[in-house]
A and B are shown apart, each in its own frame.
Chain A
């Protein structure tokens, strides 16, 4: 294979042309007004996809030169797709980010450092200064939150009225809450489909983390656990007396999955993020009225915090960073977008969007709840440690074994600690 002079010439011309082309692309991208096609990925369901499409149609009307192609998947699949893309530096230009994955993506420089764009292309004035730092990792900002969630204790007012049990009121201690569970399960035992006070709530990682926060500690310091095996054993043992008769059996929980037994009126209370309300209503088939309360506590501190949700990030490998930032800016600040989403992605993070939310129905209830706990929320949670997803999954699976009576709290805590230490030091 010899290359003759003519071929060499053609090759040279081609490579020169391609450099010019690349230069053109770069030149256009600077002010963000150049033509570009952006890829945008998020996790969610059809409902969220429809809402995003409406928002993006609006964006494209205002920026005719920019085309946005969306793709979405369920949570697990979404992260599998992103990690394979990260391996080949082909992440979508704009992507939805979560606190559980922020550290990994930021540390490995997969995301654009946004600090120079803040105030210059990306307006963040409207964002609560306590929430904005959630998107920080180390010394840089790598993602911007679009909404907030707060944890809540839900109860089913209709079901309680049916059973003739008064609705719980705050302040509530954990012991009082357990008494409430016992009462409901005793009354609910006579029903054709037995009703219980709750599932074994100690199996949910986030409730445990709030419990730790209630004692005035952050659950994590950097990449380390800030609680002991004894703390966890005590937590899992705290419902031991209820398990035999007062908590919905694990096999019933499994059988109903992925629908929550609370939404199906099989239990009278459940802990979840406050924006879960819409999900409960959807699954309930119109039966039940779901209300939110702050968490039970023994210390007087609720342990609550506003958790940044559905953060947006720009990929480091994006060829159109300016246009991408324009899209993020639009999604965070545009009031119409606030109206489209309501509180389905959490309470909008900017005042302009919060004001645009039609305050009725579910949205009004979620807005009111977050407003009501405002005085008791603590410091916001930043990026979660790398490996958080793994230790959370482990927590759920190991706690499930306790619920099935396959292991004891002490053994379970020992195992989880070994797994978690391993996962966090990876």
Chain B
């Protein structure tokens, strides 16, 4: 008896792994393998032309002495701190508006989601560049109101806000998640609050926000990681070199320049690992702090 069960069980496990195999293969060949290779390369000097030569931690020590590296970190952190909260706020605001029962709601939901489908593409980056360039639509409107910006693209203090706007405009994905979260809030809570005479703002702060805090947390983590990885739009809009005056020299852009323009693959790999570790550390910190502000439904409180 037990023998047949064992055989069946082993067969099940084999079948399980068989079904998993495409994913496992993909993981090993396309993710884990390259990651290990890049970890190795980060301790070497490698220019694609000659085989990598081991130089220990030199790439890492150089990195922290590199002024442009530090600059790219500042630029990227500035972007993350600005773009992430604004995007989440926009997503939550629109989700609240769409939460009621209104006619044509499905249409609005799709319409607001559309930008996130296309926003990361190269074509939108080009459109954005045309919109915000000198004599672009935004510049024209600004001039009408007497503000001559001379185009946002060429202005080092406006190029970053322009990219933040592009990111905020793609609020669709977190919005859909927020919407799902809002639908889960029990209506009785609002009814009870109404009976107690709570106003709109009071209800939002005391019921909605705490009830959807797990969703806020989820979106926060996802969007923060996402913001660190900004590349496409910055590459296209800056012409690939972080211009004007280095104001859009994002971490990933600098990494790409070092790797593929200067052919310093070891250095670029070291940069990639520093970024991965920094994002992991940040995520860990967010998980730690989440205990104090994220409330899960089943919590005994």
Contact = CB atoms under 8 A, between A and B. Distances in A.
Contact of A390 (B45, B242, B262): B262
A131 interface: no
Given A253-B154, A254-B154, A426 B45 contact: yes
Nearest to B264: A426
A404 B150 CA distance: 14
A415 B67 contact: yes
Contacts of A87: 48-49
Given A390-B262, A406-B245, A252 B134 contact: yes
Interface string A92-126: 00000000000011001010000000000000000
A404 B49 contact: no
A150 B137 CA distance: 41
A254 B244 contact: yes
B150 A251 contact: yes
Interface string B119-155: 0000000000000011000000000000000110111
B243 interface: yes
A423 interface: yes
- Interface of chain B: mostly helix, strand, loop or mixed: loop
A46 interface: no
B246 A401 contact: yes
Given A255-B133, A255-B153, A393-B261, A108 B246 contact: no
Contact of B263 (A83, A110, A403): A83
Contacts of B241: 393, 396-397
A389 interface: yes
A406 B249 CA distance: 15
Contacts of A105: 49
A251 B263 contact: no
B214 interface: no
Contacts of B50: 108
A60 interface: no
User: Could you say which interface size class chain A belongs to?
Assistant: 35 or more
A257 interface: yes
Contacts of A250: 154, 244-245
A217 B280 CA distance: 52
- Interface of chain A: mostly helix, strand, loop or mixed: helix
Interface residues of B, number: 30
A400 interface: yes
A419 B258 CA distance: 12
Interface string B183-209: 000000000000000000000000000
Contact of A251 (B67, B68, B242, B244): B244
A255 B151 contact: yes
Nearest to A391: B262
A66 interface: no
Given A252-B150, A255-B151, A400 B245 contact: yes
Given A254-B243, A255-B153, A84 B133 contact: no
Nearest to A256: B134
A425 B64 CA distance: 19
Interface string A377-420: 00000000001011001001100110110100000000100110
A136 to B, nearest CB: 19
Given A76-B240, A254-B154, A426-B47, A390 B261 contact: yes
B259 to A, nearest CB: 10
A299 interface: no
A252 B149 CA distance: 11
A15 interface: no
A406 B154 CA distance: 14
Nearest to A418: B67
Contacts of A110: 49
Contacts of B151: 251, 255
A83 B154 contact: no
Given A255-B154, A404-B156, A397 B243 contact: yes
A173 interface: no
B150 A255 contact: yes
A77 to B, nearest CB: 10
A87 B49 CA distance: 5
A334 B38 CA distance: 48
A400 B245 CA distance: 6
Contacts of A256: 134
Contacts of A249: 150
A45 interface: no
A71 interface: no
B22 interface: no
A252 B49 contact: no
Given A76-B261, A250-B154, A254-B153, A83 B49 contact: yes
B296 interface: no
A86 interface: yes
A258 interface: yes
Interface string A243-284: 000000111111111100000000000000000000000000
A53 interface: no
A86 B48 contact: yes
A307 to B, nearest CB: 22
Contacts of A254: 153-154, 243-244
A104 B264 CA distance: 13
5 contacts: A86-B48, A252-B134, A393-B257, A404-B245, A406-B156
Q: What 10 A-B pairs have minimum CB-CB distances, sorted nearest first?
A: A254-B154, A255-B134, A251-B154, A255-B154, A87-B48, A404-B245, A108-B49, A255-B151, A390-B262, A254-B244
Given A396-B241, A397-B246, 6 more contacts: A108-B49, A250-B245, A252-B134, A254-B244, A403-B245, A406-B246
